A and B are shown apart, each in its own frame.
Chain A
Amino acid sequence: MSVKNLIVLSALTLLTYSAYGQGLDKILSNGEVHGSFQLDMQYYQEDTVIGAADVPEDVLMNGFANINYTNGNFSAGFRYESYLNTMLGFPPGYKGNGIGYRYASFTNNDLNVTVGNFYEQFGNGLIFRSYEARGLGYDNAMDGIRVNYKLAEGLNVKGIIGKQRLYFDFGEGIVRGIDGELLLNDFIGGSLLESKTRITVGGSFVSKYQVDENSQYNLPENVGASAGRLTIQQGKLRFSGEYARKINDPSADNGFIYKEGEAYFVETAYSTKGFGISLSAKSVDNMSYRSDRNASLTDLQMNYLPALTKQHTYNLLATLYPYATQPNGEIAFQGELIYKFKKKSFLGGKYGTGILLNYSTVYNIDSTAIPTAVDTNLLGYESNLFSLGDEKYYEEFNVEISKKFSKKLKGTFTYSNIMFNQAVIQGKTAFDHPDIYADVGIIDITYKISKKHALRMEVQGLFTEQDQQDWGTVLLEYTYSPHWFIAVLDQYNYGNNDSEDRIHYYFASAGYVKGTNRIALGYGKQRAGIFCVGGVCRNVPAASGLTLSITSSF
């Protein structure tokens, strides 16, 4: 069905072009085909020490290829996906082979039409975002129709309708939405085009339809949400804010209560050469929004509630205690400051010194449960979006200093202090999972041996009394630009109170890069944990064995 649609569209487009009297050969020679490919494969070994279970297939593989055709204002493409069988840690819903994505799109003057699959977001995504993070098996692509129309200079309207992807199937709900954005300066024109002050306003409305088959409750079949946003830029200063509201949406996420949902996200930033600062605040209350009220995990999410915490990349910081937004309710604040001490100044030295400070904190929303006996409207609780609760979910202070010592030697030094409420964030029982307080130090040194050869070393330490106590990580990486790399890593839970759990997780990898081809082999043990990339997280079980990964694009 899906491939057929694509073919019909391609054929129709060709025919249309031909009908306008152009030569077929000329049309074809204007077309371009491009694509990308990724394959990840692992041979699993049972490892009782780290708790890696036996995998009956021995080998598991995830792979896909995107193929896109473009010709002037027309484009079409598809993604073939293969999960034989899905690798550990990926949603098991991905099974077998299939076309996970296909589309055709054309632009005619100011109108752009896409049929088939598409990814889209309105504003910050508070009420609508369809998105993919292939590395995590996250994909809630829309399947339907999108129309984008430029009504006037600076005024754009988008309309979408479709169903969301659920593995090789689609969710039951229908998602409809419209978004308008007005870039005031471009719209009015004249002297405002070059004005230092720029104003953008936008608004969106989204609704989902899902039939009510529940005999006990009278569930709303249409659930609407709306959002408005404003951005003001004044030279180096920028302010942006968005507010969203959702009508009653009883779901598995909120315990089938009929309370309305609300969220806001404001951000202000100022920057000039060598200095930048940003401050942001966010509050969400009962804002989980899915196209199936019974869905869970990362299935069929319609919106995006960005976490206002620093997104980490160093192994211990990124994987041990990563924060994830609590859609049922949280208030978060974040500030970041970046400064560069100039070359030849006291703190700058010969090459200058960079410093980056980040502070973030997240609390619950102050709320009061409504006693069941008087809660005739099944609202669940009362709350105020702006009122801070007394339970802290997360707090972090992070400082990162980058320094070049000589032409050959440079380093980045990080200190982080974290408070992590594991009971709330990871859904564990509170009585035996106390809040975690951790200090983390990271030294990342690069030594450039010669023009093409470089050695990089990371030494990381995480110190805490709670959870699994102290961890250390050492990474050594040798690169021969532009083609070769080899790395060894050891992550060691040396401080674990239980001496039997003081486990080494070593991993060695090597690879070859040429242009867009990258082939890497790895061997070792991977710790169970929550891995997050691009703001999406997934639970990964412990594993041991040999991995192969190939990426390419053309």
Chain B
Amino acid sequence: MKKNFLLLVLSVFTISLFAQTESRTIPSSNLKDLNGKTVNTTSFSNDGKPMIINFWATWCTPCKRELNNIAEVYDDWVEETGVKLIAISIDDARNAGKVAPYVNGKGWEYEVYIDANQDFQRAIGFQNPPFTCLVDGNGKIVATHTGYQEGDEDALYEELKKLIAGEKLSH
């Protein structure tokens, strides 16, 4: 009996693994926006245009470096591609109250949510921020990247332009 079940679960996993395309659905989680409103991640949309979902935290230096660097070119990105960046803070109660002052203080124009219990982080499945997802116009995650190094925002922008042009992505 146990063997049969094991076989069944393995086949489900295997079939799913082969059946799934390279893109991935945004998993469902509830987040809070900076006004305290509950928002489900499946409602993320940008009118058929691409989105970038970026995970960060107030205590994460490379995360802040990345989002501050993108902030400098964000107006151009939006103008040229129509992209929307959604910044998900994984700060817990210790720092969650500092997220809005930081975001506004830095003048970020991103859509910002707080994932205080790290539910969305677990659903996406990564360990350490920053973590970036590129989402196509149909709301499918088509590329992911871990970490940030100076200049990575240019590589991300190249991918974004390829996505819009319908070209194959590098990863």
Contacts and interface: CB of A to CB of B under 8 A. Distances in A.
Contact of B95 (A311, A454, A515): A311
Contacts of B41: none
A553 B145 CA distance: 9
A121 B117 contact: yes
A485 B149 contact: yes
Contact of B8 (A11, A233, A517): A11
B16 A32 contact: yes
A75 B13 CA distance: 12
Interface stretch (A53-61, A220-228, A272-280): A272-280
A28 interface: yes
A336 B96 CA distance: 13
B81 interface: no
B27 interface: yes
Interface string B103-116: 11111000000001
A335 to B, nearest CB: 11
B149 A479 contact: yes
B43 interface: no
A112 to B, nearest CB: 10
Contacts of A448: 150-151
Interface in A230-278: 231, 233, 236, 238, 240, 265, 267, 269-278
A553 B24 CA distance: 13
Interface stretch (A64-72, A87-95, A293-301, A432-440): A64-72
A446 B107 contact: no
Interface in A115-141: 119-121, 124-125, 131, 134-135
A535 B94 contact: yes
B86 interface: no
B12 A14 contact: yes
A198 interface: yes
Contacts of B146: 513, 515-518, 551, 553
Interface in B23-71: 24-25, 27-28, 35-38, 57-61, 65, 68
Given A183-B38, A198-B35, A551-B127, A7 B5 contact: yes
A453 B101 CA distance: 32
A42 to B, nearest CB: 18
B154 A198 contact: no
B127 A134 contact: yes
Given A7-B9, A35-B125, A273-B107, A311 B59 contact: yes
B94 A513 contact: no
B132 to A, nearest CB: 10
B60 A313 contact: yes
Contacts of A312: 59
B36 A10 contact: no
B171 interface: yes
Contacts of A553: 125-127, 144, 146
Contacts of A482: 145, 149, 151-152, 155
Given A29-B19, A313-B59, A481-B154, A338 B94 contact: no
A4 B117 contact: no
A7 B101 contact: no
A265 B97 CA distance: 11
Nearest to A318: B59
B32 to A, nearest CB: 9
7 contacts: A33-B13, A35-B125, A71-B16, A276-B100, A306-B93, A340-B105, A517-B146
Q: Which 10 A-B pairs have the closest CB atoms?
A: A276-B101, A338-B105, A481-B151, A454-B150, A276-B105, A306-B94, A31-B16, A271-B104, A515-B171, A124-B93
Given A269-B98, A516-B126, 7 more contacts: A3-B6, A119-B119, A198-B35, A273-B107, A278-B97, A452-B154, A481-B152
Interface of A: 3-4, 6-8, 10-11, 14, 28-29, 31-36, 38, 66-71, 75, 107, 119-121, 124-125, 131, 134-135, 156, 183, 186, 198, 200, 231, 233, 236, 238, 240, 265, 267, 269-278, 280, 304, 306-308, 311-314, 336, 338-340, 354, 356, 402, 446, 448, 451-454, 456, 479-482, 485, 513-518, 534-535, 551, 553
Interface of B: 2, 5-6, 8-9, 12-13, 15-17, 19-20, 24-25, 27-28, 35-38, 57-61, 65, 68, 92-95, 97-98, 100-107, 116-119, 122-128, 131, 143-147, 149-152, 154-155, 171
